[in-house]
Structure formats: structure tokens, C-alpha cells
Chains A and B, each alone.
Chain A
Amino acid sequence: MDEYEKLIANSKKQQLSDSQQQKLNQQMKRTVSLSKMKLMVGTITIILMILPVSYIFTFLYYAFGTKSTTLMDVTSQTLYVTEPNTSLEEIEFDMEFSPFSMQLQFEQYKRIGKEDYTVNTYDMRYTLGNLTSKEVNSRLERAQRKNPNETSPWLTHPKNQSDVDTWREWEVLRGLPDETVVEAYISLHDLHTVDEIRRSFANVDVVWAAVDTGVEEKNLSKDGDVVSPIGYPVQVDNTTWSPFRDAYSNEQVFIDILNYIVQYEDLATKVSSHKNLKLQERIDYINKNGIKTYGVVVTGPKNEIEKLEDINLIRKIKLGEVKLWNWTN
């Protein structure tokens, strides 16, 4: 027997029997199917964990990164100082979270006469720290321009031009029924302190004052960007969580708000309806020159607002919202 035949004979001896081969095949099949099953279940586990992990990441971000409360405060405080005669009920804000984003829904109110009316409903969506979607459903009958220019604001500086047709506005006011209460935007001939204006407008409520911040003469910043009026609520505000609640001085709260939101100016600009805020420039001016107003928002009975025509402080007037009589204490 040569070497080759020996090798063949040995290998035939080592060959498994048919039953053993079958068993081995079955075992291999079972192992392969088990491995496939493990792989499949492992993949399912990982897929099902994606959403919970992204929620944990989102919650951690809003707890320790850009805080959800910071976003809420910047949003509400920006609206207080950029939207004339408006207030918010922060405790009634609706806050919801989804992976990597936060949604904030709330209503904005206006004081017309002695009552607060819902005028806007906001729906803000923040992706991490950025405002990525802003929807405002307005119920205002007389709304300001969406894209303000240098002369379009209803409150204008004494040295600035204004698009407001005062003669027409007085005519409209005279045509209103006596049983109505009116919101009016009054631009003044000169700069005054808010107390002076409150004393002069004794029979109506002065609710919001626009503050001279050095850019209102042309409504242009040093860089040539269009800016709009900013100011603060004048009256006592007892709304829960309002920054002006129990304030010793609303002027001081206004300055504190500016110093706070300047740290988040990009966000504040997106939140507001203004094109630009240019806060640092305006804060510097206020710190140097103090707080003087060039225009106020007042509300009161139609007859009392009409009587303001005799006061020679007023340069321009623009009527805002009108409601049925509610001027009771």
C-alpha cells in the first residue's frame, strides 16, 4: 500500500457516522439561529433605548445646560419691555419637552380700561438653547406693523418723524361711543419723567412708558440698524411671578431686566417683534442719562382720553384697542 492509499484509509476512519453528522448539523443550525435571534433582540433593544436616552439628554441639558427657566425668563422679560402695555401670567405657561427641544405656550394680556384682555397666544419651540419656531396668534384689532421701520412705531421720539396721522386719530376717538374704554399711544413733545406724566394724565391710567435710550431720535442704532421702542409697565403689577411684582421701583426692575437679557440678546431679539434690540448700547445710554420717557401708553374712558387733547404735552396720538365700558373700581 502506498502512502496515498494509507492517507485515504485514515481519513475514512476519522469520518463521522451519518447520525453524528446529522446531530452536528442540527447543533450548528440551532447555534446560528440563536445568534441571529440574539442579534435581532439586541438591535431592538438599542432602537427602543434611543428615545429614552434622548429624553435623558434633553432633560439634563435643560437642567444643567441652558436652563428651561432661563429660556422662560428671557422670553417673558423680553416681551414685558418690548411689547407696549402687555403682561403675562407666567404661572400659566404651558411647558412641554420632546427630544432635544422644549415648547412654551402662553397667552399675553393687555390692560384696556380696568380689565386685562387676552391679545396674543404664543407658541415657541426651542431646539436646545435656540428659538427655532415662533407662532403668534393675535386677536388685536389694531396691530403694529410686523416689519417696523424708522418712522412706523406708534410711540416716537420728539425729534423723530412719525407715520401716525394724529388728526385722523382724534377724529376716530371723537366718533367712538361714550360707553367705551380706549387704549392710546401718546408721543410727547419733550422728554419727561414718568411721574410727571402720571401727574399730568390724572384721570386716565398710564400703563406703559417708552424709555429714551439714545437711539430713538432716528430709531437707528450706531451701526445703522432699525430699532424699536423699549420701555416698562408703569403700574403696580401683582401678577404671580411677574418681575414687577412687589417691586420697589419699576424703573429699577426695567434696568435689571435689560442687564439680564443682554446676556441672551440673540434669543431676546428672536423672541421680540423688533428687528434689533442693541441692548448694550442702550444700557450704556440709560446708565449715563437716567430714565426719561418720550411716549406712554394710557388707557381710560373715551371721554377722559379725549380731554387729553387740551394738554399741550401731546405731540402724537394713536388709538389702540377699544372695549366696552369697564371703568369701575
Chain B
Amino acid sequence: MELDKLKKLQIPAIAGWISVASGLFTLLLLNISMLTNNSILFEYFSLILGIGFIFAWPAIFSKKSRFLGVWALGIILFLIIFLFNIFFLSWIIVPFP
């Protein structure tokens, strides 16, 4: 009974940490892509971001691990805004077809 209670308490926290780790890993990939000018890594972005997004929700609904979920969603939101900005601004600053 105690073990069950403990598991219930820990699952959202584990999910939260997984989502934060996914967000950080995507950020790391983004940094590597920018430093090496290698856009191949962009292919994995959506997959890892998707994992992070899914795991963030169990964490958000638990009071104790809410900050982890919010943190992960913050990173994901930052990445989405970044990609949107870069895509939109590239149209303006690069004049070539």
C-alpha cells in the first residue's frame, strides 16, 4: 500500500524529469547544429520535442512536480518560438531564391 502511494507520487516527477531532459537534449542538438552548420540534426527535433511535450503533462497535474512540467513546456515553447522566428526572419534577411 505504501509502495503504491510512493509510486503514485514518483511517476509525475519521473515524467517531469524526462520532459526536462528531452527539452535540454533538443536545445543541445540545436546548439550543435548551429555550431557545426549541420541541419541534419533538425530531423530529430520534432520527435524529441514530442516526447518532452507528452511527458510534461503528468508532471503539470501533480502539485509536487508541477515546476518540472512548466520548465519543460517553457523550453519547448522557447524552441518553437525560436524555430518560427528563424524561419520567418530568414525570408527577410536572405534575398536569394
Contacts and interface: CB of A to CB of B under 8 A. Distances in A.
B34 interface: yes
Given A59-B89, A63-B89, A63-B92, A41 B31 contact: no
A45 B97 CA distance: 35
Given A45-B27, A45-B75, A69 B95 contact: yes
Interface stretch (B1-9, B39-47, B78-86): B78-86
A60 B79 CA distance: 16
B33 to A, nearest CB: 10
A68 interface: yes
A62 B34 CA distance: 17
A56 B24 contact: no
B96 A55 contact: no
Interface residues of B, number: 25
Nearest to A62: B93
B82 A56 contact: yes
Contacts of B92: 63
Contact of A91 (B28, B86, B94, B96): B96
B95 A72 contact: yes
Interface in B4-61: 20, 23-24, 27-28, 30-31, 34-35, 37
B86 A49 contact: no
A63 B28 CA distance: 26
Rank and list the top 7 A-B pairs by shortest CB-CB distance, nearest first: A48-B27, A59-B89, A63-B92, A68-B93, A62-B93, A63-B89, A52-B82
Interface of A: 41, 44-45, 48-49, 51-52, 55-56, 59-60, 62-63, 67-69, 72, 91, 93, 95-97
Given A45-B27, A52-B78, 12 more contacts: A41-B24, A45-B23, A48-B27, A49-B27, A49-B78, A52-B30, A55-B34, A56-B85, A59-B86, A59-B89, A63-B89, A91-B97
8 contacts: A51-B34, A52-B27, A52-B79, A56-B85, A68-B94, A69-B93, A93-B96, A96-B37
Interface of B: 20, 23-24, 27-28, 30-31, 34-35, 37, 71, 75, 78-79, 82, 85-86, 89-90, 92-97
